[in-house]
Chain A
């Protein structure tokens, strides 16, 4: 069964902390996306990766194909990072994206 699991479901941090959100999947994939959904509902694509590591500002995404695992890191977290972070994968056996349930991040000042 093609599954995507995220952890933790909820995360509360203090401003400045280093944050890690994890995504595990069950079988081989062709691509993995990290999305950010703001409290107002808008969705922004943060990263799309199929191997290695990508960095954009304070955000870093890594993927380990052998372990079927990806992490999203936020350095020097800020209250404006508070959002739901969603992992989505395209399994090699299928044509559609499968979404994780999301991680609700709250960064307190």
Chain B
């Protein structure tokens, strides 16, 4: 059974940093791309970032480019999202999601339950 468990969310001040983690199990981690998708309170889904199964290809939404960094550790079956220079508009539930193929141009067939990031002074 595929399981994705996010952690690392919390309250942070504007300009601060946070690192999210997503521990994966139940599938061959290096064979699938992973994404982070966020959802602001009461709003829709916004894709944030993706990384290929091998970790050699990454992509970012314009809204986070230059501030967020995605990475993965295949030995730990874990994907990370380092978030710097956080803004109030980054407040959201952040979901980790597994793609159906090794590269990110594929649908997201499993999702974690999400971790809440609140950016406020």
Bound together: no
